[in-house]
Chain A
Amino acid sequence: MTISLTFTAIAIAMIFALFITMYQLFVHRDQNTKITSAGQMLDQTALNLEDYLRNMRRISDAIYYSAIKDKDMSEDSVVGDMDLLYEANIDSLLSIAVFTKNGELLSAVPNSTAKNELDVRNQEWFKEALDEVENLHFSKPHIENLFDDPAYRYKWTISLSRAIEITRNKTPEVGVLLVDMNYSGVEEILAKANGGNSGEYIYLIDGDGNIIYHPRQRLISSGLAEENNKVAAAYFDGDHTEVFNGEKRVVVSKSVSYTGWKLVNVIPDSSFRLGIRGLQLYAILTISVGIAAIILLNLFLSYVIAHPIKRLNDSVKEWENGNMNPKIYVGGTIEVEHLGRTLSRTVRQIRQLMDRIVVEQEEKRKSELDALQSQINPHFLYNTLESIIWMIEGERYSDAVSMVSELSSLFRISLSKGKTIISIEDEIKHARNYMNIQKIRYKNSFTVDFDIQDEILKCCTVKLIVQPLLENAIYYGVEGMDGEGEITVKGYRKDDDIYIDVIDNGIGIPEETAQSLLTEDNHIHKHGSGVGIINVHNRIKLRFGEEYGLEIESEPDEGSMFRIHLPYIPFDQENQDLYEKGGRRK
């Protein structure tokens, strides 16, 4: 799970990092593309507009230089020439008119009736023409208010006015030439540029920021919409970022030659996001599916990798918990399988090693025992044989026969055909033989009482474990005491255990000595058979397990008790063979 979580977290983090980077890159590039595209659109629109306005200026020039300049307007009519130019540009023009500097209409096409009480002197285009006589002036859009149209038509126009020199009655004077352009010409150019529905739009302002064209001009005039036109008038050509009415937007501006007008392309922030929506949804979809796939894949990979490791770990735990023959899992990936095989081999080798150690230990003990048994104290044998000789010389033949029989039985059981595991019955018999010999030797200075339950007689024991304890009881218990020594051997079963207690009423053993008997290798060389207490203790443990062995209870001047603790194992051929081979592993 940890591997899976780690992989998933890393993968998700990488996906997010990748997506955010790509997204930012895409958005940035998209914005740049849009701004560049807006600039190109603006350039194209400016070009179209300049063409259109240049054409208007050419018309104005043509009228002035070819129709008016060299004519005396009091004598020659200029209407014919003006009409020709008007007809040639009828789609772009509303009217052409020439006024004196006092506002008197001298000539006009098409041939319309001027309005009654017409006074152009207050009209902006007229004033501008006379204020700056060297320039051509483009007015703001307005309703043409010069001629009477019985069809009730009022048309929007942009007036191109200029001061001109006119000649009347051979006298030159200042006049004003007015070319009223059809506003729809400008409108068409800009409406074409505003064809998209991305929220992006282009508007046109004059040098003071007054709107000449705006796709929502009437809404702005009605107060239903607003525009940042006054601020935009101050922008240099190029792109600018502004916040208007709480909305961030990019504004690209471009000046229109000769007019002081400015084209402004507005790209609201929302239009940048317009194309991004699909991308965002696609990214969410991809990321969701990607993350789900990664989680599932990681879970699968984690299962494939971790599950065999976990099973292998379970095998190791089982081994740790004492099962020396665990079933080691071998499987999974090549590496884990190799690990499993290696571990399995190691376990097997350890087990074989342990078996070998047990066998070797056993053999060592056996050799030691054999050596000890073969080295039964010569003094014991010498004294026994001396006692037998003494008995024969004293013609106590039956006693001598009895002692020889006891000695013979002792040696027979000691050998036991080379077996280590014998029945408790034989072990007790061996102990009796030994004690009978010793009693004769010690002239019955102590008594021995055997109290063995019948049910344990046919159970397994390691041989020669009682005799060393009896020897110990004689030499360290009752030998040196003043009164009659008493040695009792009790054998009994308790649950699945067997206990054989060797109790004496001798001088006892100090506490520290009693404990050291089971931990230090104190061989008895002086008197006994040479088989130490610890030897007995270790042999039992080695054969039957750590929970078995000897226990010692002793009180100085009160006596001692050596308790043999054995498992309850019925004595038969099968169990004997099993425990001969170190059967506690069962």
Chain B
Amino acid sequence: MKADKIIIILIIFILAVIGGTAAWQLMNMSVSDESYNVTVVVSNSSSPRWANFKEGLSQGAADYGVMLNVVTTADFSGMKQERNIVAKEIENGADALILQLFSSYNQSEYLGSLNLDKPLVLVESDSNPEDVFSSITPDNEAIGSKLAELISVKAKEYSDRKLKVGVLAGNQEELAMYQRLSSFRDSIRGKNIEIAWQISGYTNDDIEMQMKNYQKQNHADCVVALGNDQLEAGIDYYTSYGNQFKNVLYGVGVSEKTVYYLDNGMVASLVVPDEYTCGYLAVKSVYEKLTHAQESKKNIQIDHRIVDRASIFNETDEMMIFPRTQ
């Protein structure tokens, strides 16, 4: 065959390939708007404490075009409850999971047993051992030491004795809570602070009762709550005696209730993790994993701010604390 004929056949073949590819892409343009179903499982999902987190999720979903399914849950009382929900969501065809682990321990075996080939991002707390799954969490050790620092300032008011502190340590099976407590304890060591009592546990239902008992036995001057639910329980305890208590609570909080009592004066200082960013980055991370768009960072730490009564309504803190969706 002559060279010019080969060239012509080659040109027509190349044109056919180009035209075919263009036609294929044209036909697939209408169906290319693939939407991913992302399931979000967090404890007590309807709690106002998730307002900022959900707003971040919504913004992420809008930006990345994913369908969000925030599973309605009650306060988790155990791992089985959470696992049932996760299994059901996987069965229902979730493309990816954003998960707040009830327990950070021994999760890799369980999640591994699910043959989970779907992207998974942990929020609030990492698993233990760490670095098995992607996570988006605040710097929990920094939060613990920050709380210790705030308490230390108060302890200076007690020159004749040590400041007695009650600790609402929450679910210590959650790595985040464990890290906050460890860091807090390490940071107050050698300072004029004494832990009068500590309450740990899965649920927050009976914290108020337990506090009353502990306070009778060994009265704490102030209480440190390592999580939002614990802080709200502490608030409930003090408000049960009226609104006269001021600057008796320190803790981590994101709900408007905790902010209200900060504004009210009962809470002296509030550590507020940037839950909005957490929610947004969780969706972003999941999307990147789904589309393999780029290598997302395995573990992301979100910021937290220390807010006191004077700074609640300043421009920067306002934007982080109060959700826009009302």
Contacts and interface: CB of A to CB of B under 8 A. Distances in A.
A291 B26 CA distance: 19
B29 A278 contact: yes
A288 B259 contact: no
Nearest to A292: B15
Interface stretch (A52-60, A212-220, A377-385): A212-220
A142 B313 contact: yes
A1 B322 contact: no
Interface string B302-316: 010000000011011
A224 interface: yes
B19 A218 contact: no
Contacts of B287: none
B194 interface: no
Nearest to A283: B22
Contact of A289 (B19, B26, B324): B19
B323 to A, nearest CB: 9
Contacts of A282: 22, 26
Interface stretch (A151-159, A255-263, A487-495, A517-525): A151-159
B316 A288 contact: no
A296 B15 CA distance: 12
Given A152-B257, A218-B59, A281 B29 contact: yes
Given A145-B313, A295-B8, A278 B26 contact: yes
A277 interface: yes
B187 to A, nearest CB: 27
Nearest to B23: A285
B243 to A, nearest CB: 10
Contact of A222 (B259, B276, B312, B315): B276
B16 interface: yes
B319 A221 contact: yes
A126 B4 CA distance: 85
Interface in A453-487: none
A210 to B, nearest CB: 9
B277 interface: yes
A224 B277 contact: yes
Contact of A288 (B8, B22, B63, B276): B22
A299 interface: yes
Given A224-B277, A285-B19, A288-B16, A299 B257 contact: no
B12 A222 contact: no
B25 interface: yes
Contacts of A224: 277, 280-281
B276 A218 contact: yes
User: B-side binding surface: helix, strand, loop or mixed?
Assistant: helix
A291 B256 CA distance: 67
Contacts of A217: 319, 324
Contacts of A156: 322, 324, 326
Contacts of B48: 152
A159 to B, nearest CB: 13
Contacts of B19: 284-285, 288-289, 292
B271 interface: no
B11 interface: yes
Contact of A277 (B29, B260, B316): B29
A423 to B, nearest CB: 57
Contact of B16 (A278, A284, A292): A292
Q: How large is the interface on A (under 10, 10 to 19, 20 to 34, 35 or more residues)?
A: 20 to 34
A217 B263 CA distance: 24
B275 to A, nearest CB: 10
A248 to B, nearest CB: 21
Contacts of B320: 221-222
A143 B318 contact: yes
A409 interface: no
User: A-side binding surface: helix, strand, loop or mixed?
Assistant: helix
B260 A295 contact: no
B25 A143 contact: no
A187 interface: yes
A107 interface: no
B18 interface: yes
A31 interface: no
B171 to A, nearest CB: 24
A152 B256 contact: yes
A187 B322 CA distance: 15
Nearest to A278: B29
Contacts of A277: 29
Given A143-B313, A154-B259, A299-B8, A291 B15 contact: yes
Interface in A1-37: 1
B208 interface: no
A276 B303 CA distance: 40
B25 to A, nearest CB: 5
A205 to B, nearest CB: 15
Interface string A184-208: 1001000000000000000000000
B247 to A, nearest CB: 14
Contact of B15 (A1, A153, A288): A288
Nearest to A291: B15
Interface string B234-272: 000000000000000000000111011001000000000
Contacts of B22: 281-282, 284-285, 288
Interface in A128-150: 140, 142-143, 145, 149
A140 B318 CA distance: 12
A247 to B, nearest CB: 16
Nearest to A144: B313
Contact of A154 (B12, B29, B322): B322
A184 B19 CA distance: 50
Nearest to B309: A117
B146 to A, nearest CB: 19
A143 B322 contact: yes
A451 B265 CA distance: 154
Nearest to A182: B326
A388 B318 CA distance: 159
A396 B256 CA distance: 171
Nearest to B30: A278
Given A217-B324, A278-B29, A299-B8, A284 B18 contact: yes
| 7 smallest beta-carbon distances between A and B, as pairs | A288-B19, A285-B22, A221-B319, A284-B22, A152-B260, A152-B256, A292-B15
28 contacts: A1-B4, A140-B315, A142-B318, A145-B313, A149-B260, A152-B48, A152-B257, A153-B256, A154-B259, A216-B63, A217-B324, A218-B319, A221-B319, A222-B274, A222-B276, A222-B277, A222-B303, A224-B277, A224-B280, A281-B23, A281-B25, A281-B29, A285-B22, A285-B23, A289-B15, A295-B12, A296-B12, A299-B8
Given A142-B318, A224-B280, 16 more contacts: A142-B313, A152-B256, A152-B259, A152-B260, A153-B256, A154-B260, A216-B63, A218-B56, A221-B316, A224-B281, A281-B23, A281-B25, A285-B23, A285-B26, A288-B22, A292-B19
